[in-house]
Amino acid sequence: MAVGTNIQTYFEGAWQDGDIPIMRAADHGAWLGTTVFDGARFFEGASPDLRAHCARVNASAEALMMTPTVTADEMVEVVRDGLSRFDATAAVYIRPMYWAIDGDSSAIVPSAEETGFCICLEEIPMPKPTASVKLTTTRFRRPMIESALVNAKAGCLYPNNARMIAEARSKGYPNALVADALGNVAETATANIFMVKDGEVFTPVPNGTFLAGITRARHMANLTADGTRVHEAVLSFDDFRDADEVFMSGNMAKVTPVVEFDGTSYQVGPVTRRVREMYWDWALSEV
């Protein structure tokens, strides 16, 4: 655990201080990668869409052929209890996680008899409202469901994201705009993506290569209620080069303006600012 990091871990029915060991060397998740997680946020006293994130980790477990053992409502109550161990002004990243313990007779398929579970609460500051990002391209692509478990938030998918980021860094950028198997834009290496053109908002249509995020859906609902037209569409890299505004949507930061894509620059425009304003207004209204 990094010095100064505040972590609380719920494991085997109790909260424990710190980043404690939870997995054994022979656990299926340790040597065969059957792990899933989700990420929610607590900030300014709010934990927006917490139940949706808890429900999604159960869906992810089922996609990896694991048996969920905690209901979404039970998870929400445990998380809320754990958050009481933090200062009310803290910003906390909420990670419920499952992993397989044993395999079946093949050793490869997870056994339904036992599933590991924990919740990790880690104090991580929210990015500053002025934070932005620059994107480049990467030769690595999002896989399809026929070749990877893209219908789950699975740990085994993230090495692919890591090499996207590593390649982007080698080109002087912190992140990359990523294609699907057909060469159309899917998302970035870390988050869903939106673009704005002539006052209307566009985002890649979910096509089974990326998770259409909970925060993404919230932005779409807020924009639509605010009178902005939102389109899920097949989008190319040239569409993004021609955009008026581009922003990322993810749980860690909620809204991150993109100010450059491979030499094409963007302003942090009125739609991006409005998306952030609406999200915060909605989130804090839930406190």
What confidence tens digit (pLDDT) does each residue in 173-193 have? Answer: 999 999 999 999 999 999 999
Q: Are 187 and 165 in contact (CB under 8 A)?
A: no
The angle subtended at Cα 99 by Cα 59 and Cα 51, nearest 5°, is 40
pLDDT at site 1: 39
Each residue of 17-26: pLDDT tens digit? 999 999 999 9
pLDDT at 3: 44
Helices 214-225, 270-285: crossing angle, 10 deg rounding: 100
Q: Which residues contact 15 (CB under 8 A, 6 or more apart)?
A: 8, 9, 81, 82, 85
Are 66 and 173 members of one domain? no
Q: pLDDT digit string (tens) for 82-122?
A: 999 999 999 999 999 999 999 999 999 999 899 999 999 99
Q: What integer best gives the mean pLDDT of the chain?
A: 96
Return all residues near 146 (Cβ < 8 A) that are at least 6 apart. Answer: none
Q: Is residue 1 part of a domain?
A: no
Q: Is the separation of the CB atoms in 244 and 201 below 8 Å?
A: no
- Structure token pair of residue 38: 């989700």
Tens-digit pLDDT profile for residues 128-150: 999 999 999 999 999 999 999 99
- Co-location of 76 and 140 in the same domain: no
Per-residue pLDDT tens digits for 25-80: 999 999 999 999 999 999 999 999 999 999 999 999 999 999 999 999 999 999 99
Residue 253 lies in a domain: yes
* For range 183-211, the mean pLDDT: 97
Neighbour-count burial of 96, counting CB atoms closer than 10 A to its CB (0-12 exposed, 13-18 middle, 19+ buried): buried
pLDDT band at 5; cut points 50, 70, 90: confident
pTM of the model: 0.94
Residues 151 and 260 in one domain: yes
Backbone phi and psi for residue 39, each to the nearest 5 degrees, phi listed first? -135, 125
Residue after which a domain boundary falls, among 77, 100, 123: 123
Based on the domain organization, do 187 and 117 belong to the same domain? no
Residues 255-264: tens digit of each pLDDT = 999 999 999 9
Q: Specify the CATH number for the domain of residue 33.
A: 3.30.470.10
- How far is the C-alpha of 149 from the C-alpha of 143, rounded, in Å? 8
